[in-house]
Amino acid sequence: MLTVDSRAVEAALSRVRARLARLNVFTRLTTLEDRMSQIDAALAELNDATNEVAADLDALEAQVAEIDSATAGKIRAAADRLRGLAADPEQPVPPAETGPDSEGTGSTDQAPALDSDGGTGDGPSTGTGETNQS
């Protein structure tokens, strides 16, 4: 008859349980590594998108600076015209130089020149730069 040493059986079972526990930890670590890889991929996509947004903002900033510069030039030209008119109201004011309009259609319409009393010369003047069309 075969005799079984209960201590030996318990020791063997303990070793098996320990190995199973290590395998379970290994499985969990593998799962965590997979999840970390997914997180890294998502972060890389987010980083790429952030860089694209930053590039778009840089381009927009350059466009705004260009528009600001053009607008400042127009304001300076208008101020110079007004200074010229204030310095010598008898002197005819040349028409404003305008470039392409803000929609980029290439319009080069010029503002009407003011006559000596502030009108445009197309009717009785009100003295305010407008004409009285009565």
* Cβ neighbours, 10 Å, residue 119: 19
pTM for this entry:
0.43
Q: How many helices (H) and strands (E) does the chain have?
A: 1, 0
Question: Which pLDDT tens digit goes with each residue over 5-23?
Answer: 888 888 998 999 888 888 8
CB 65 within 8 A of CB 71: no
Rounded CA gap, 97 and 73, in Å? 11
Strand, coil or helix: 69: helix
Question: Which pLDDT tens digit goes with each residue over 64-81?
Answer: 999 999 999 999 999 998
CA 61 to chain centroid? 7
Residues whose CB is less than 8 angstroms from the CB of residue 110 and which lie 6 or more positions away in sequence, other chains included = 95, 96, 97, 98
Indicate whether 102 pLDDT > 60.
no
Of the pLDDT bands very low, low, confident and very high (cuts 50, 70, 90), residue 127 is low
